[in-house]
Structure 1
Amino acid sequence: MNAIQRLMIFTLIINCIKEDANRFFGGKISQMGQFPYFAQIIFKENAICGGSLIHPSWVISVAHCLFSAHNKTKQLLSKEVISVVMGRNRRYKPSEKEHHVCMNISRIILRPVDHLRSTNKEDIEISDYDICLLRTRQPFSMSRFIHTIKVSNFGQGLEECRYATFIGVGFKTDHVLYSTTELYKPPFKFPKWYITSTKIFTKALPGQYVFPGDSGGPLVCYYDSIPVLYGTMTSMYNPKNKTLPRLFIYESMEKHIKFIKENVPGVQTFSNKIYTWDRGKTKRSTACVANLIRTSRSFIYFCLVFILTVNHN
């Protein structure tokens, strides 16, 4: 076997390994235009959190992303250094100017009584209502790669959606990833300091984690293939009792819909009366497509290696 053939086989093996490595927390790499409502919140040219475009001029995200991590007074970051990037399926980098639109922020709205506070027993900081709205200086133009998402309305509780899709771009990857997850109602009680009245939960599957940068990402359910914003990622809860599952925690759009409507008059909400909920469809279709792609790639790699081996012999 000559050097060129060895190099080609080595490259194919590396590609197989790389494919699994990209799925580091159960996520799959998104395609351009697959999630046109996904926003990246930028602070001083660094992507710090995710968000969702719910109106051409408004993005919804989580409040804790917009507080200074090194300031003891927890002052809100200046809107002058915050912007929103739309239209990318990769983490924002200042050096990459193509395939995205960037808008500066003109206003930040937190839900009333929203504040960060430290707990007595836990070395973390939490927000009573970890939700915020960001208004852009100019509205985004709608296109195949940039579009708004409808928001879940009153009465669309946990029983309305079994499977959902989470989208994020944590600091561990350069890609916007998505993962299908199952909504979950915890059978246990949370610590007294933790406010759960506005939260919804999904169970973390083996190998699934969230990382800094995933906060604010959308949790989406589907009605007849129409995406509906159901929640926004706020944190992960890891119970001390290891027999209990790890949980991904989201702020529920249903619980904040009054706050959203009061501040974003043109927001589009979704009524499920004339649509059929795609129960399990997202999970099954996503899994089938992913398995088909992986199987096809593996088959192609095998054929190439076989051809190279036969030619050598």
Structure 2
Amino acid sequence: ASCGTSMVGSTHTKIVGGTTASHGEFPWQVSLMYGGSHVCGGTLIDSQWVATAAHCFEDYHNARYWTVGVGMHDRHHVYTTQVHHVRNLIVHTGYNSHTNLNDIALMKLDKPVDINTQYVRAACLPNAHDSFDQMTCTVTGWGATYFDENGNAPGAQFLRKVDVPTMSNYQCQYFLGRNNVHTSNICAGLRAGGKDACQGDSGGPLVCKKNGVWKLAGIVSWGYGCGDRNAPGVYTRVTSFLSWINQQKAAHP
């Protein structure tokens, strides 16, 4: 199965706040559920591995209670066939919740999923030298970026997508402060506000289409974009963690 391809044609959306995706348009998008509730997004990077954000597991680090929904579109109707258990939960040991440094984690599913279907595919990992600067990329998710008092993650019923232009880290530091944006981050979003990581999920994908395939450029990180609509969204830059990903996969065959 070739990664980064969708059997559903994708139309660019310039609608502020995004628009509902078609089922199967972003088949690598997964839902990370804790005790059955959608908490974070994630991305299938092959048949058994999901990339997501470390901050999703600050309070919930027992792999036993996590499940992963694949091929989902409607958050309110999840079929048991779509739900997979987690064998390994690997949070980057260098993750710092104060600086958001190394905000990346991997989940290994208990068994491989078929990634050659209309609704389930893997996104391509970028090459080490891939640059996504000044591109229009797409962030997807159900909008679950926080818990409310009842422990419910508010958000959309159907998967949503929004196009966001990436910017240089230098530009991003101008908006957000030099100490908040690391070289291992990538920023995207409109200065006018309204389109930011609030539309996606924590841990979910920022994908960019290069040479006809969708590559995972970023992972929605924590703490930016939602409070201030004039701020770009800050993502974990996947090219900075390719060797870490390969190390973890090798260590958990």
TM-score, length-normalised on structure 2?
A: 0.78
- Residue by residue, what CA displacement relative to the aligned partner does 1:142-193 show, whole Å, maximum 9, x if unpaired? 211111111012111244x611111111133111100111001243175465
Residue of structure 2 in register with 1:130 after alignment: 103
Long gaps (5+) in structure 1: 1-22, 69-75, 118-125, 266-313
**2 CA distance for matches of 1:249 and 1:224?**
24
**Corresponding position: 1:116 with 2:116:** no
Secondary structure of 1:80's aligned partner: helix
Residue from 72, 84, 87 that aligns with 1:88 = 72
Alpha-carbon offset, residue 26 of structure 1: 2.0
Count of residues in correspondence between the two structures: 222
SS in structure 1 of the partner of residue 163 of structure 2: strand
Q: Which amino acid aligns with 1:151?
A: L
Equivalent residue runs for 1:291-306 within 5 Å:
none
Going by fraction, where is helix more abundant, 1 or 2? Answer: 1
Instruction: Please give the alpha-carbon distance, in whole angstroms, between the structure 2 residues aligned to 1:230 and 1:61.
Output: 12
| Matched AA of 2:63 | K
Q: 2:162–2:199: 8 Å Cα contact kept in structure 1?
A: no
Counterpart of 1:107 in structure 2 is: 88
- Structure 1: which amino acid aligns with 2:53? V
Return the TM-score normalized by structure 1. Answer: 0.64
Residue 229 of structure 1: SS of its match in structure 2?
strand
1:106–1:191 distance in 2 versus 1, CA, 3 Å: same
Aligned CA-pair RMSD: 2.7
Between 1 and 2, higher relative CO (CA 8 Å, sep ≥ 6) is seen in: 2
Q: 1:184 to 1:114 in 2, by over 3 A?
A: same
Q: Is 1:196 matched with 2:182?
A: yes
After TM superposition, give the deviation of residue 210 of structure 1 in Å. 3.6
Residue 161 of structure 2 corresponds to 178
Between the aligned partners of 2:226 and 2:214, the Cα distance in structure 1 is 31
Matches within 5 A, 1:225-240: 225-235=212-222, 237=224
CA contact (8 A) 2:32 2:38 kept: yes
Deviation at 1:195, TM superposition (A): 5.0
Q: Show the counterpart of 1:284.
A: none
* Paired position in structure 2 for 1:291: none
Indicate the structure (1 or 2) with the bigger Cα radius of gyration: 1
Looking at structure 1, the residues matched to 202 and 186 of structure 2 have their Cα atoms a distance apart, in angstroms, of: 14
| Post-superposition offset of 1:200 | 0.4
Structure-2 separation of matches of 1:99 and 1:33: 18
Cα 1:97–1:197 change in 2 (3 A) is: closer
Is there any run of 5+ residues in structure 2 with no aligned partner, and where?
A: 1-13, 144-153
- CA separation in 1, counterparts of 2:58 and 2:225? 23
SS for the counterpart of 1:231 is: strand
Tell me the alpha carbon deviations over residues 212-263 of structure 1, each in whole angstroms, 9 at most, x when there is no partner.
Answer: 97111111111232111111111353699x9x94111110110111101112
Q: Where does residue 62 of structure 1 map in the other structure?
A: 53
Q: Secondary structure at the match of 1:259?
A: helix
1:112-141: CA deviations, max 9, x gaps?
Answer: 322424xxxxxxxx4321000001111112
